[in-house]
Amino acid sequence: MCIAITTWNGRVAPVFDVAGSAELCQHSPAGLKRQILPLPAGNGLEKLALLRRQGVRLLICGAISRPLYQAACAQGIEVIPFVAGALEDILHDWQQGCLQQRARTMPGCRRGRCCQRRGRTLTSPAAGPEMPEP
């Protein structure tokens, strides 16, 4: 399976919508094949189209807007959003199959709930059907 992790300075990029690059990773007989892929500036749909053309089936990223999350899912790309941490740590956890069990979520996010403020909670796209407006 080919995965993409949006990157910035050796860490998961904080927001997919404006990420400038992604690390593509795929298991091969020789081990883990890795490649840095520059992402187009601007339109997030162009980023998703490029990832799809590269054969990406899983996207690991920081925050992602609901429209882009839904577009990725519609294109057959599974998304694990609100991930934070060093790229090497995230890759290690993914290879071990424990990425979602570890505390690798962005600050303010836990158990699928994010952005707690003023008594309201926004759910991550993966956690619930609708994300209430702030």
Global pTM value: 0.78
pLDDT at 124 > cutoff 70:
no
What is the C-alpha to C-alpha distance for residues 32 and 95, in angstroms, rounded to an integer?
A: 9
What pLDDT shows up at residue 118? 43
What pLDDT shows up at residue 104? 64
What mean pLDDT is reported for the chain?
A: 81
Dump pLDDT digits (tens) for 17-70: 999 999 999 988 888 899 999 999 988 999 999 999 999 999 999 999 999 999
Q: Which two tokens stand for residue 49?
A: 């189209």
What pLDDT shows up at residue 68? 97
Q: How far is CA 113 from CA 19, 99, 101, 131, 134, in A?
A: 22, 17, 15, 10, 13
CATH number for the domain formed by residue range(s) 2-107: 3.30.420.130
What is the C-alpha to C-alpha distance for residues 57 and 1, in angstroms, rounded to an integer?
A: 7
Write the Ramachandran bin of 118: left for phi over 0, alpha for psi from -120 to 50, otherwise beta.
Answer: left
At residue 94 the predicted structure's pLDDT band, cuts being 50, 70 and 90, is confident
Q: Where are the domains of the chain?
A: 2-107
pLDDT at 120 > cutoff 90:
no
What is the C-alpha to C-alpha distance for residues 30 and 124, in angstroms, rounded to an integer?
A: 36
Say which range, 13-17, 55-59, 121-125, has the weakest mean pLDDT.
121-125
Chain Cα centroid distance, residue 105: 11
What DSSP string runs through 18-80?
Answer: G--EEEEEEEETTEEEEEEEEPPSS-HHHHHHHHHHTTEEEEE-SB--HHHHHHHHHTT-EEE
pLDDT at 130 > cutoff 90:
no
